[in-house]
Amino acid sequence: MKQGVFNIRLEYRTEEVTLTILPREKYYKVIYFGGIMGAVYCVAGKWNWIEAKDLEGGDLPMYIPDQKADRLELVPDKQVVNCIGREIELHINPSDKTYGNK
């Protein structure tokens, strides 16, 4: 899992959201508006979520949702986690057009 930092885009509600992905040894940190939202990791083809509070510290602060901000508040539910995972897979192996159809 040793790649550099990259961005992915997700369709969320009626908007497009850009997330920064920071690969780590056992998971991928998910960064939104300069803060760590959490992380995703894959086991047996299923993507799972780790809350930011359960991750080791680093240089970036934890993402804190702000209902008054001019940004879309992204909720990492099962569908969003799977979308993040799918985009990571496509970034890692862009020639794999079968992802999600297995």
Separation CA 99–CA 93 (nearest Å): 9
Q: pLDDT-based confidence at 102, cuts 50/70/90? A: very low
Question: Structurally, how many domains does the chain consist of?
Answer: 1
Q: Coil, strand or helix: which one is 45?
A: coil
Residue 100 lies in a domain: no
- Determine, yes or no, domain membership for 99: no
Does residue 102 fall inside a structural domain?
A: no
Question: Pairing relation of β-strands 15-23 and 6-12?
Answer: antiparallel
Please check whether residue 22 lies inside any domain of the structure.
yes
Residue 101 falls inside a structural domain: no
In a domain, 27, yes or no: yes
Model confidence band, residue 101 (pLDDT cutoffs 50, 70, 90) = very low
Q: What is the pTM of this model?
A: 0.85
> CA neighbours within 13 Å on the CB side: how many for 76?
21
Q: How far apart are CA 93 and CA 39, in angstroms?
A: 20
Give domain status of residue 97, yes or no.
no
**Which carries the bigger pLDDT value, residue 7 or residue 59?**
7
Q: What is the pLDDT of residues 25-81, one digit of tens each?
A: 999 999 998 899 999 999 999 999 999 999 987 888 888 877 566 778 888 999 999
In a domain, 58, yes or no: yes
**Residue 14: which domain range?**
6-92
Q: Which residue has the tokens 């809350």?
A: 51
Is the Cβ–Cβ distance between 68 and 30 less than 8 Å? no
